[in-house]
Amino acid sequence: MADQNILIIGSGFAAAVTVIHLVQAGIKPATITIVGPGALGAGNAYGCDDKDFRLNVRAALMWIWPEKRDDFGLWAKANITDDPEAVQNSGNFYRRRDFARYVKSCLDTVLADASAPHNGITHHQQIVTSLGTADSGGWQASLDDGRLITADHVILATGNPTPQWPCRVNHAVMASPATAKLLVQNPWDGRWLDHVTSGSRIAIVGSGLTALDAITALARRNHQAQIYLLAPHGNLPPVQADWVKQGPPIWPKPPRPSKILRRFRSYLPDLPPEDSRWQAAFEELRIDINQQWAALNDDDRRRLMRRLGWLWSRYRYRAAPQTIAAATRLQQSGILDICHARLTAINPGDDTPLRLDLTGAAGEVRCLDVDYVINCTGAGQDPFLASLVTAGIGVADAFGKGLRVTADNQIIRPDGSASKNLLMIGPQMASSLGDVVAASEVSLAAIRVAGNFAEQLVGRGKRHDGGIDA
């Protein structure tokens, strides 16, 4: 069979592990093309150079191969010599940038083993603006530099989209270069920290992991002025404990939103979420949660998330001990003020550059004057995926955030059929497949896709565990 070209759209972690598993499955590196900005494997999640942006899970859970779950931890012990703070009582929580280094080392090793230094993958550090069918029956991608790339197969690995402002931003703020630079729409790269002085009043929108990374970095820089954390519920994530999960619980049949919700309530012990036993129980609930999710229709999925979504977001994404410790220190010093309010508008200020309109839990309205606003909500829409829906290539998922996919990661067409040469890997599959955003789950998806490609293109069989038999 002639070599068939594979185009991977995206250049973050999902793209890198897909390359790793494709090559190990026997796909020739020279047939793989990557289109995506930045270093392959870093992306939004791990592309930050700041030393205070940390992984929120211990190293043992950050794996690329299920049979080598301690690989990152072993690599870290041998290669990370400047991060004594990584070692905590509940595990080792390394910096995001160091995990990107590990991914690169794995990619380099796999390509070297394939004798591909001079015959390796092609990486265009551009952005795909549109995708359509090619005359040959495959796909044609348009890049933002005007280039056209054709491929027989396309894998979407676009990752999380750039965050959008969750409120109205006054046109006068954006129109003025002096005030526009005070709005940090995407904080993930950490570069904004170089421009914030210690006397700047800062509003951080959101109270999740990104917000904690920002707070930790500001604390390290000995920030002196007020930091306002804007969050309607006003709660920080619980700190990770040294939990050990056992087997999954027994789920009621047939799955229904009300039954799943009751199972969560009855299974979680009456203990603080910071307790290792509570977290172990939560992790046990996650073991088979995807099977429960798959059995629900769209209406039931939306109904369940209206009832359970707040708990899932708060307790699924728990915090590294280092970040909670930094936030606690700033709270105790009076610098960090957690505001139980929602940001509704950003306007020009009178005595300060920016004035924020806030709405409290009871509907009360007040204003807040600040120098910077950092958007740590993580909420965004991917215009590229939306364009595929408009073009009739894919179908929007139940929440309008991604595309519908099959259990084999194939994009579902408007007529309900599955596209065998257009697939997706990464967090955008969550609405279709459930809890698939962790690095390990992305790795499993890449193994699954690589196995299907190996069976289709190089005639290798798939093992039941998703790996490849030679």
Per residue in 267-300, pLDDT (tens digit) is: 999 999 999 999 999 999 999 999 999 999 999 9
Q: Is residue 1 part of a domain?
A: no
Q: Is residue 204 part of a domain?
A: yes
DSSP-derived secondary structure letter, 40: T
For residue 322, pLDDT beyond 90: yes
441 lies in the same domain as 354? no
pLDDT at 318: 96
Q: Where are the alpha helices (DSSP H) in 80-208?
A: 96-113, 171-175, 177-180
pTM of the model: 0.93
Q: For residue 144, what pLDDT is reported? A: 95
Tell me, yes or no, whether 347 and 213 share the same domain.
yes
Which of the two residues, 462 and 227, has the higher pLDDT score?
227
Tell me: do 121 and 139 sit in the same domain.
yes
The structure tokens listed for 29 are 């590196």
205's enclosing H/E stretch is: strand 202-205
Same domain, 115 and 213: no
Whether 245 maps to a domain, the answer reads: no
In a domain? residue 388? yes
Give the residue from 380, 273, 445, 326 showing the smallest Cα distance to 51: 326
What confidence tier does 467 reach under pLDDT thresholds 50, 70, 90?
Answer: very low
Domain count of the chain? 3
Is 63 within a domain?
yes
Q: Which residue range(s) make up the domain with 323?
A: 168-238+319-375
> Does residue 250 belong to any structural domain of this protein?
no
**What integer is the mean pLDDT of 309-332?**
94
The last residue of one of the domains, among 299, 316, 333, is 316
Query: Nearest-CA neighbor of 62 among 41, 82, 48?
Result: 41
Residue 466 pLDDT: 40
Question: Residue written as tokens 């293109």?
Answer: 457
Confidence label for 62 from pLDDT (cuts 50, 70 and 90): very high
Q: Are residues 341 and 312 in the same domain?
A: no
DSSP characters over 407-437: TT-EEEPTTSPEEEEEEE-SGGGHHHHSS--
Residue 3 has pLDDT above 90, yes or no: no
Both 270 and 411 in a single domain?
A: no
Percent of the chain whose pLDDT exceeds 90: 85
Query: Quick one: pLDDT at residue 468?
Result: 31
User: What was the pLDDT predicted at 464?
Assistant: 36
Tell me whether residue 162 is exposed, middle or buried, using C-beta atoms within 10 angstroms of its C-beta: 0 to 12, 13 to 18, 19 or more: middle
* 122 and 68 in a common domain: yes
Domain end, chosen from 316, 335, 352, is at: 316
248 occurs within a structural domain: no
Quick check: is 252 in a domain? no
Q: Are residues 270 and 133 in the same domain?
A: no
Average pLDDT estimate for 138-167: 94
pLDDT at position 137 is 84
Contact of 49 with 39, CB cutoff 8 Å: no
- Do 291 and 368 belong to one domain? no
| Statement to judge: residues 367 and 385 lie in one domain | no
Mean predicted confidence (pLDDT) in 205-220: 96
Residue 212: give its domain's CATH number.
3.50.50.60
- CA–CA distance, 131 with 142 (Å, rounded to integer): 6
Quote the tokens at residue 190.
């950490």
Domain identity same for 397 and 301: no
So what's the pLDDT on residue 117?
60
Report, as an integer, the average pLDDT of 129-157: 94
Computed over every residue of the chain, the mean pLDDT equals: 92
Which of 332, 358, 375 represents a domain boundary (last residue)? 375
Q: How many helices (H) and strands (E) does the chain have?
A: 15, 22
**pLDDT (tens digit, 9 = 90+) per residue, 409-442?**
999 999 999 999 999 999 999 999 999 999 999 9
- The pLDDT score that the predictor gives to residue 1 is 37
End-to-end CA distance of the chain: give it in Å, rounded: 18
386 and 371 housed in the same domain? no
